[in-house]
A and B are shown apart, each in its own frame.
Chain A
Amino acid sequence: MSGSHDKDLQSASARLLKQSHSRWYEWLFWAVALSLFVIFGDFIPGVPTRLMLLTEIVTLALLALSIDLVLGFAGIVTLGQGAYFGLGAYVAALLAKGGAGTFPMSDPVIGLLIAGLVTGVFGFVTSFLVLRGSDLTRLMVTLGVALILSELANQMRWLTGGADGLNGVMPSAVLGIWEFDLWGRVAYLYSLAVLFICFWLSRRIVNSPFGLSLKAIKNNPLRARAIGVPVNARLVAIYTIAAALAGIAGALLAQTTQSASPDMIAFHRSADGLLILVFGGAGYLYGGLIGAAAFRVMQDVIGNITLQYWQFWLGAVLVALVIFVRNGIIGMMVAGWARLRKGDGQ
């Protein structure tokens, strides 16, 4: 335990430098994401349009990324990220509705920024609740906040439309140029661009000294405090950032589906986000992205084969994954890669 911790600190600066360089497979990842636009954008005859599904995956990926920041890097178990996701969705939807499709209120980018700001503030306020306690306590406090917020969304009918949700949500054209279309082309490129920017920011954050101090806190909060890391301030900061990202994810979903309803803030958003992250592998940043894609595609494919019972097979995959591999899909890939290289050396 102590050995690994010391090693962390010794190699810190070297690791920081090394990690901040982008690798070839990262470029490949984003190139693939972009090429999906051409493949599934109804440009090739015979290939069905799946851009709406891909857009949904992107918003989920961003949600999972935000959870990765608090869970994978700072070690805070949260089951309440759906609260920020839903809050962001409602803020963006209300702005788009209020502006009735005109600049500046209905502008999607401005909407995203405001949604991020509002959820960031709310995240900052609520972050003080998760500074203490065990995993279970944090899990339940974050869940409690999310449940209270979702009950509020149901009760504040005058603002949120209650259980009916908001309709007439009309975000204007992205940057005043591209209107959201029925094929979801603008929606996908727009969401992917937002995901890329948020990802790049997150990558900078976790590879900074600030990010490393988070890892120290995750490994052992007491020792981190002893070596002078301002533990609480760091946790508050990362929790706030993650809340803002989750809010942006929710805002993206509200804008691209042009609606907001209580299920955007419901318990299953938080649970899905956590599930997807652990499924993909926590603590790699890419885990949430790959997890979201794998999870949703699997759900879609199995759902088309067995409409009513897809949950069985999805559950079976989750169970098998946990039993046979460590750290989700990325963990499986890393292990496979290591084995391959070992094989090369012999």
Chain B
Amino acid sequence: MRNRILSGLAAGAFALAAVPALAQEVVKVGLILPMTGQQASTGRQLEAGAKAFLAQRGNMVAGKRVEIVVKDDQGVADISKRLAQELVVNDKVAFLGGFGLTPIAMAVGPVATQAKVPAIIMTAATSAVVPQSPFFVRAGRTMPQMTFPIADWAAKNGIKSAVTLVSDYAPGIDAEKFFKQRFEEAGGKVLDSLRAPLASPEFSPFLQKAKDLKPDALFLFVPSGQGATLMKQVIDRDFAGSKIRVIATGDVTDDDLLNDMGDSVLGMITSHDYSADHNSPENKAFVEIFRKVNNNMRPNMMAVAAFDGMELIFRSLEATKGDTNGQKLVDAMRGLKWMSPRGPMEIDAQTREAIPPMYIRKVERKNGELYNVEFQDAGSIKDPTHTHTK
């Protein structure tokens, strides 16, 4: 709250110039998040994740105080770009972070490059983003990293044919492409690839078509936050009765929504890097502090990406001993390894992409709540799409 008031004052027309001596000691991190509109739940999780990090680690690093400035871009790309410029020029932020959707990251890329400010991608999952600016570093994950493990799992577990159903937009098409590629390499067959319009609430024709094709499995991907509607209709269509397994990336059984979905999703298999149930001391500590500072909310994959993004920021500042030169900070992030609540994390020294650990999980009831319970470690996968080396 205090940060917001501060940023409000800074943005006010009559704000006084920051005292130079103080400005040296404060390092500002500008988070551009969707706090209202369709993606609002994503923005809330990201902000909460960053808050949890500061609560756990304190805000001092290398003798400097880290301050977060949060801005609402409503999920609209040109507003994000404007906010990035204002954060750089007015607030003199040393880092940018957030970016709910791919076009938003794309719009901010030129600002990061021009201003030489590291920009941490926490949400947007299209592989094509990071090469757009030498100052992009990814703290989240990419589409192929999420889809390869579930395709592998399907091929190894007696699933010979599959139908894919994704939201008709870039990440959805990425998911479809990478699932098909990996699954068919392993000898499976994708019978049909269905795409549902992003805005439409009605999935029934697509689900019925998938059912009529009688595959061994149905693979799903929708943006995080839309899983609830889709799963409702999946359950209603009774795939289990037709001996069709439903598999998905972890976005569909988002921790934020999972518990409301009811017992019908029990046993569903998904792949992802984060589950609030992950069994490690790092995650237990993370979930505890996250719930404490955020009104008992359950963290999801967005929260952990923001948490890890802050980790990156702190570690790079430590490495540069507080120097906020953008190039030095980005170089410090290359090849970083640490223990995240997800498990062992690494930043690819060449591509600046995150290399998160991946797991195959099954929805189970634990202590009265539904969780994605990890039962197989799928290892860490480098993003396979990159050809660039810088």
Whether the complex brings A and B within 8 Å at their CB atoms is answered yes
List, in ascending order, chain B residues with CB within 8 A of A6's CB: none
Closest to B3 in A: A307
CB-based contact A162/B170 at 8 Å: yes
> Does A163 belong to the interface (CB within 8 Å)?
yes
Rounded to whole angstroms, the CA-CA distance of A308 and B71 in the bound complex is 10
A304 with B78: CB separation less than 8 A? no
Encode contact with A along B148-183: 1 for CB under 8 Å, 0 otherwise: 000000000000000000001111010000000000
A68 within 8 A of B: no
CB distance from A192 to the nearest CB of B (A): 16
CB-nearest residue of chain B to A182: B114
Bound CA–CA A300/B10 (angstroms): 12
Q: Closest Cβ of chain A: how far from B381's Cβ, in Å? A: 22
Contact of B76 among A154, A163, A263, A301 (CB under 8 A): A263
Q: Which of B75, B77, B115 has the most CB of A within 10 A?
A: B77
Stretch at the interface among B101-109, B262-270, B292-300, B347-355: B101-109
B82-A53 in contact (CB<8A): yes
Residue contact B78 to A56, C-beta cutoff 8 Å: yes
Q: Is the CB of A311 within 8 A of B36?
A: yes
Q: Considering only CB atoms and an 8 Å cut-off, how many residues of chain A contact the other chain? A: 42
> Which A residue's beta carbon lies closest to that of B167?
A163
Q: Which of B43-87 contact A (CB under 8 A)?
A: 44, 70-72, 75-79, 81-82, 85-86
In the bound assembly, the distance between CA atoms of A259 and B105 in angstroms comes to 11
Query: Which residues from A are CB-within-8-Å of B15?
Result: 46-48
A207 within 8 A of B: no
Which one of A164, A257, A262, A304 contacts B11 once the chains associate, using CB atoms below 8 Å? A304
B380 part of interface (Cβ distance < 8 Å): no
Q: With A182-B89, A259-B78, A264-B78 known to touch, is A308 a contact of B36 (CB < 8 Å)? A: yes
Q: Are A263 and B77 closer than 8 Å at their CB atoms?
A: yes
The residues of B that contact A52 with a CB separation of less than 8 Å are: 81-82, 85-86
Cβ of B13 < 8 Å from any Cβ of A?
yes
The answer to whether B22 has its CB under 8 Å from any CB of chain A is no
Would A164 and B88 be within 8 Å (CB), given that A154-B198, A259-B107, A304-B7 are in contact? no
Q: Is A182 in contact with B85, judged by CB distance below 8 angstroms?
A: yes
Q: Quick one: which of B44, B76, B115, B128 has the most chain A CB within 10 A?
A: B76
Q: Is A48 touching B86 in the complex (CB atoms < 8 A)? A: yes
Q: Which 8 pairs from chain A and chain B are nearest by CB? A: A163-B169, A304-B8, A165-B103, A261-B103, A46-B17, A48-B90, A52-B82, A167-B106
- B residues lining the A interface (CB < 8 Å): 4-5, 7-8, 10-17, 35-36, 40, 44, 70-72, 75-79, 81-82, 85-86, 88-90, 101-103, 106-107, 109-111, 114-115, 126, 128, 132, 168-171, 173, 197-198
Known: A165-B77, A182-B88. 9 other contacts (CB 8 A): A46-B17, A164-B102, A167-B106, A182-B89, A182-B115, A259-B77, A261-B77, A301-B12, A304-B4
